[in-house]
Amino acid sequence: MNVIDVILTKRDGGRLTDEQIDWFIGSYTDGGIADEQASALLMAILFRGMEPAELARWTQQMIASGTRADLSGLGKPTVDKHSTGGVGDKLSLILCPLAAACGAAVPQTAGRGLGHTGGTLDKMETIPGWRSTLSPEEVLPVLRDVGAVINAAGPDLAPADRKLYALRDITGTVESIPLIASSIMSKKIAEGTGALVLDVKVGSGAFMKDLDQARELAKVMVGLGEAHDVRTVALLTQMDVPLGRTAGNALEVVEAVEVLAGGGPPDVVELTLALAREMLDLVGIDADPAAVLADGRAMDSWRAMVRAQGGDPDAVLPTAHEVEVVTAPATGTLSRLDAMAVGVAAWRLGAGRARKEDAVSPTAGVGWRATVGDHVTAGDPLLELHLDDPARLKDALEALEGAVEVSPDPVNPSPLVHARVTPQDL
């Protein structure tokens, strides 16, 4: 097999054969193909795309580059949720213990934040003692006893994706639906879940800016799940406005715990319940997640999950040294709170990273007192910027220029869920 022939096949619009795909994924993972040659193929895929069967084979080989966990012996159905990334999206922290409290097992492999989007592991690591590096031997007892685990990807989980993801990040080949879909789904399938709910974000603060693009990605991922015997459904959800009332690591943990305690922002509760119902429906569990939130079972599950991974659920989380307040510019209805601007501001305050190896601040972030559709009064506090390094404030404030608009007329916020994609929609 010749890597030049593989590149030329895709460059000229051809379909890669199963043999070409098998050889390329195996050889690149093992170091037998140079990064510049792999980059050329990724760029060709970005421009030429992949056929469904071709992409299914590509994803299959990414899974096969490592091991696929076998969770069949747990004695309970397995289901997971994955978000394509947004601002203020702390839903995994709530959904994992909530679904577990309803009788499912949630083997969530989570990631870290990059740029303006937050990472579940960064948020959980603000809890003293909590660790994200459980071995496969440690994961199984936690899933059996507690029902949920949030863990970093181990070295045997789709190692081909780890190499290709890093390469895409530095070669301008991130924006490819086949490559995005295979990256997400190879890891989710390899983790061993039997069912998966996808939260595909749409809007200014999301990777997918328009609904048609998001729907295409959702269909491709649902198709890949079905092709690998993982029951999969996707919800297309809004991300023009940040979710909840906070964006930042410890800030979002506090908000997630508020929801688990039966409170929290209405939009977070609404979307959490919509995703939870999809998760339970996929695995045939007849339970009311709203009741499980209300009666404390979800909170009990959260506390058990945190303890099982070495954390202290009663610990006081760190807070920022300084809080800078930004006031409402006018009186009326908040008509715009731009998710991208809020996410970039949180990032510049220290909550995010520009490179994977960067450290993040556990305390930095942005809070907001109102969201779109709420009444605000000129001069009253609207945004709170949490920071430990005063030198970061100027850049964060610049990111928020034009992010807020107030209307004299009532404004109806966009629906949280735009659409639902199932295998029947393919």
Positive/negative CA dihedral, 330, 336, 338, 342:
positive
CA distances from 195 to 60, 180, 215, 245 (A): 17, 19, 19, 30
The per-residue DSSP string of 275-303 comes to HHHHHHHHTT----HHHHHHTTHHHHHHH
Q: Pick the catalytic residue: 122, 161, 199, 338? A: 161
- Find out whether 309 and 132 touch, Cβ atoms under 8 Å: yes
Of 322, 319, 334, nearest to 375 (Cα)? 334
The answer to whether 187 is a known catalytic residue is yes
Q: Give residues with Cβ within 8 angstroms of 108, minimum separation 6.
A: 80, 81, 92, 96, 120, 148, 149, 150, 151, 191
The answer to whether 161 is a known catalytic residue is yes
Compute the distance between CA of residue 262 and CA of residue 279 in angstroms, rounded to an integer.
20
Q: Which uninterrupted H or E stretch holds 195?
A: strand 195-202
Compute the distance between CA of residue 124 and CA of residue 131 in angstroms, rounded to an integer.
8
CA distances from 156 to 132, 140, 290 (A): 15, 16, 36
* Cα–Cα–Cα angle for 386, 397, 207, rounded to 5 degrees: 85
Give the three-state DSSP class for 141.
helix
The answer to whether 186 is a known catalytic residue is no
Q: Pick the catalytic residue: 187, 201, 231, 303? A: 187
Positive/negative CA dihedral, 165, 167, 170, 172:
negative
For helices 18-29 and 159-171, the axis angle rounded to 10 degrees is 90
Compute the distance between CA of residue 370 and CA of residue 383 in angstroms, rounded to an integer.
8
The answer to whether 168 is a known catalytic residue is yes
In the block, tokens 């999206």 appear at 89
Q: Which uninterrupted H or E stretch holds 306?
A: helix 297-308
Give the three-state DSSP class for 6.
helix
In the block, tokens 């960067």 appear at 358
Q: Count other C-beta atoms under 10 Å from residue 313's C-beta.
A: 16
Q: Pick the catalytic residue: 10, 116, 168, 348? A: 168
Q: Pick the catalytic residue: 10, 57, 81, 82? A: 82
Q: Pick the catalytic residue: 182, 183, 204, 361? A: 183
Catalytic positions, written as ranges: 82, 161, 168, 183, 187
